[in-house]
A and B are shown apart, each in its own frame.
Chain A
Amino acid sequence: MSGEHTSTPVAARVRRLEARLTEAGVVTEEQLDAALAAMLKGASPVNGARIVARAWTDPGFRERLLADANAALPEVGLSMAGGIQEQRLKVVENTATTHHVLVCTLCSCYPIGLLGPSPSWYKSEAYRSRVVREPRAVLAEFGLELPGDTTITVWDSSAESRYMVLPRRPEGTEGRSEAELAALVTREGLIGTAAV
């Protein structure tokens, strides 16, 4: 495993390459910033929350989302094609008896377009090494105590394929609008370290 990203040799190489390119006049700092901003434009957990709220209120969409998320996303005006290549998205659904949680043990692969920039703990070596081994204990540290008979699946992501959790709809939310439901969904809920 690679440890903290900011201190890895590859991060140092990226910084050196940026400096060489700007020194040579190939690209300006402003252009680099603009490229990063464009990549992150609209990248927010609000997108994931919208997908979840639609799935909670539209059983047909939920079914299509779980069967082929890439094909279903355009129904809510989203896609996985924002990066260098279109990534595959797999949505995994929590139920009364099953719970899903995401990790990337090799690096920190994550659906940034749908969940926004990943939290720092997601990239930490502690989370990446521990959640595959003792997810129940790690989730409890996040404040999520699961019943003993809940089946837990940990999804170890990779660069070409990304995952998102479809949390369970909270009790007592009947009659709420899609926008009100989306407001209940947190980034942690979409990773699986929170219930919603």
Chain B
Amino acid sequence: MADFRAGERVRVRAVDPEGHTRVPRYVRGQVGRIVECQGRWALADECAAGIAEPRVEPVYTVAFAAGDLWGEGGHEVTVDLWESYIERVREDGA
């Protein structure tokens, strides 16, 4: 269990899965900051696929800088992401 903490930097997995997912395309591969954990929910992708016992995972609110997403803009966009959508960013940025 990754158990991300507020303020931690995470990268959204650059996936392009078949079928339903709740990873908006515009954040795939992008680095954001954990705002908070919302609680634990059944993974939407597996629910949509009809899996009888879908994985239940922490869901995090992750904030992205507009400059990272679009190359411009001073605002932030937050997206709710299941734990398996994201991975920890190492200190060297990799």
Q: How many residues of B contact A (CB 8 A)?
A: 21
Min CB–CB distance A165 → chain B (angstroms): 13
Q: Is B12 an interface residue (CB 8 A)?
A: no
Once the chains bind, are B75 and A160 in contact (CB under 8 Å)? no
Q: How many residues of A contact B (CB 8 A)?
A: 20
Once the chains bind, are A153 and B26 in contact (CB under 8 Å)? no
Q: Is B63 an interface residue (CB 8 A)?
A: yes
CA gap between A18 and B44 in the complex, in Å: 25
CA gap between A17 and B24 in the complex, in Å: 29
Q: Quick one: closest B residue to A133, CB to CB?
A: B70
Seen from chain A, the residues whose Cβ lies within 8 Å of a Cβ on chain B are: 88, 90, 105-106, 132-136, 151-161
Once the chains bind, are B75 and A136 in contact (CB under 8 Å)? yes
Once the chains bind, are A154 and B80 in contact (CB under 8 Å)? no
**Nearest 6 pairs between A and B by C-beta?**
A152-B75, A158-B80, A154-B77, A156-B79, A153-B76, A160-B41
With contact pairs A151-B75, A156-B77 given, residues A132 and B26 touching in the complex (Cβ less than 8 Å): yes
Q: Quick one: closest A residue to B47, CB to CB?
A: A159
CA gap between A88 and B39 in the complex, in Å: 9
